[in-house]
Amino acid sequence: MALGMATTLGGWAVRNHSISGEWIFGSTHDGIALWSSVYPQARKAIASGQLDYLNSEYMQEHWAAAVSMSEWEADSYFKQKAFDHIIANPLATARLGLVKLGLTFSGIDPGIALLTPRNAVALLTNLLALAGVTV
């Protein structure tokens, strides 16, 4: 397994190094994905049924800061911003994580009405699971 991971990620990293000069084993999407998952607007995004949403108005300041950066630098910028936010707001981040975890396992989409077919099925399966636990 380690050999497989090393081969695939290594090949990707070598390719990235050849075009950017940086050893990137992941992707330049990681930083913005982490940022959009924890940033101050993330809770509002959940209410609209999104787990990964960028509020354009809020993002203007950050996009302006990133505009002159390379792809790699912009990724590092958002990664750093995300970690700074997590460290400054550990409890809020933990609460947000728990909400996301709960939504993931419940299957309920908070962006649509509770009695739509999707959420009704989710409620039903959760009810069955609850019944199974209490038996």
Partner 1 sequence: MCLSRLMPNPSRFIAIIPLGAILVLCALLQIVAALWWADEFDTPNDATSIARNLIQTGEYLDYAGWRLYGDSAGQADAPLRMHQLPGEPLYLAAGFSWLPAFLWRFLHLPVMLLLVGSIMWCTRHCFGKPAAVAACNAAGRSDSGWTFMAALENTAATAVRDGIGHGDHSGWLGCA
Which residues of the shown chain bind partner 1 in the complex (CB under 8 A)? 8, 12, 16, 19-20, 24, 26-29, 32, 51, 54, 56, 59-60, 63-64, 66-69, 71-72, 74-75, 78, 104-105, 107, 109, 117-118, 121-122, 125, 127-132, 134-135
Nearer to partner 1, 15 or 90 (CB): 15
Instruction: Give the integer Cα–Cα distance in Å for 63 and 17.
Output: 25
Nearer to partner 1, 94 or 101 (CB): 101
Nearer to partner 1, 29 or 44 (CB): 29
Cβ atoms of residues 69 and 20 within 8 Å: no
Q: HEC states along 77-97?
A: HHHHHHHHHHHHCHHHHHHHH
- Max Cα-Cα span within the chain: 60
